[in-house]
Amino acid sequence: MKKVLVAGEINADLILQGYQSLPAPGKEVLVDDFLMTLGSSSAICAVGLARLGTSVSFLGVVGVDPGGDFCVGAMAAAGIDVSRVQRDPARKTGLTVSITSPTDRALVTFLGATTALRGRDVTDEALREFDHLHVSSYFMQEGLRPSCADLFARAHAAGLTTSLDPGFDPTERWGPDLVETLAQVDLFFPNEVELAGITGCDSVEDALRALDNGRTRVVAKLGARGCVTLEAGRLVEVPAFPVEPVDTTGAGDSFDAGFLHAWLEGRPLAECLRWACACGSLSTRGLGGTGRQADRAEVERLLGSGS
């Protein structure tokens, strides 16, 4: 079994579900339900991988506070090795408030310790223990971002494959350093909005071709429309699976986990895309990013049903 190291951000999510309208200054709105759960793109992907049976270790930073206790405990309970998670008494653990509906969500985030991780925290010695390195939330990880290309280069030198999920850029500047970093990345998982922001292209196909550097496999997540990638210059599209969504929080991170799990097992591209879509779709069955992530048996049942 391939061993995966996820280096990234850790925070709790407060999910407020079932809004009729988003709040405006000076006004109050009601929601139908709420849940406090493990959040952050990196951690949700890590839990998704562990749920599928992949061996996962996590390297990140949290505060010495109840939020940090909650997040580290939730990852450990999911079967993730958390021995490399650092506790920093000078920082608060991050928090995201997600105001969500079955079809979309709005997020408010306090970054906290999310910005603390540095490339030097991921040592060459640590990398040599793993087969694959995954990083999420490129734009929010302010401490890791400047050394991310070097980190991926060191991972490759140590024999690892690599993957990156950019996440949304809150500044919407979409700096050129990300495209430069892709020269060291094997798998790249942007969604449609991120892809347009990074490339400036209006169409998904044009954006995929703009990022074609001859090395990086770019898999674009299209939400309810599934996903698409280029193979030998041709578009390969896989539709999403029909699932009645409760909450879309973290669906893209579960998608990443499904693709990575299948890819690390050496499955053909079409199967990897179907595993990704299945995991993304199934994760929307409950509140929060990790509450209803699929296990291997659930994915295989869905794929075998022909749905």
Indicate the domain borders of the chain.
Answer: 3-9+40-93+112-305
Q: Is the pLDDT of residue 307 over 60?
A: no
State phi, psi for 291 to the nearest 5 degrees.
-65, -35
pLDDT of residue 106: 83
> Is pLDDT of 101 > 80?
no
Distance CA 52, CA 297 (A): 8
Helix, strand or coil for residue 87?
Answer: strand
245 has a pLDDT exceeding 70: yes
Percent of the chain with pLDDT over 70: 99
Q: What pLDDT shows up at residue 247?
A: 82
**CA 14 remoteness from chain centre:** 18
In the DSSP assignment, the letter for residue 119 is G
Give the global pTM: 0.94
Kindly give the residue spans of alpha helices, DSSP state H, lying in 265-295.
269-282
The CATH class for the domain spanning 3-9+40-93+112-305 reads alpha beta
Residue 4 pLDDT > 60:
yes
Q: What is the pLDDT of residues 167-201, one digit of tens each?
A: 999 999 999 999 999 999 999 999 999 999 999 99
Q: What is the mean pLDDT of residues 19-46?
A: 92
Residues 6+ apart with CB under 8 A from 275: 258, 259, 261, 262, 267, 299, 303
306 falls in which pLDDT band (50, 70, 90)?
Answer: low
* CA 221, 222, 227, 231 torsion-angle sign: negative
Name which of 107, 99, 95, 180 is nearest 145 in CA terms. 180
**Alpha carbon distance 253, 127 (integer Å):** 22
Q: For residue 104, what pLDDT is reported?
A: 72
Task: Look over the chain and give the mean of its residue pLDDT values, rounded to a whole number.
Answer: 95
Whole-number pLDDT of residue 173: 95
pLDDT of residue 150: 98
Averaged pLDDT, 241-254: 90
Residue 266 pLDDT > 90: yes
| pLDDT tens-digit series, residues 102-113 | 767 788 889 999
